[in-house]
Amino acid sequence: MRKFFSVVSTSFFLFSFFMIMHMSVGWNIAFIEYLYRVSIFTPLILNVLGLLSAYFSTKGTTRKTLFFINSMLIIYFGILIFIASVGFQEP
C-alpha cells in the first residue's frame, strides 16, 4: 500500500510539473488546459494531495524526496497565484 502512495504522489507531482511546462513552453495539451479552466488553484491542490500521499509513502529517501519536490512546487505555485491574484489588479 505504501508503494501505491508513492506512485500517487509522483503522479500528482508530474501533473503539476506538466502544468508548469505548459505555462513556460506553451504546449497544447487538452487535459492540462482543462485543469487550468477548472480553477487557478488546481496545481496547488494537486501538490497538497501529493504532499499528503508522500506522508503515507515508503519511509526513507523516497518519502523525503517526494516531500521536497511537492513542497517546492507548492511554494512555486503559491508565489505565482499570489502574483496573478494581487499583482495584476488594475489601480
User: Per-residue pLDDT tens for 37-70?
Assistant: 898 888 899 999 999 999 999 889 999 999 999 9
The four Cα atoms 73, 77, 79, 80 give a dihedral, to 10 degrees, of: 140
24 versus 91: the higher-pLDDT residue is: 24
Please give the Cα distance from 31 to 15 (Å, whole number).
10
Residue 45, pLDDT score: 92
Domain chopping of the chain, boundaries: 2-87
Residue 84's contacts (CB-CB under 8 Å, 6 or more residues apart) are 40
Task: Inform me whether the pLDDT recorded for 89 exceeds 80.
Answer: no
> Average of pLDDT values for 56-85?
91
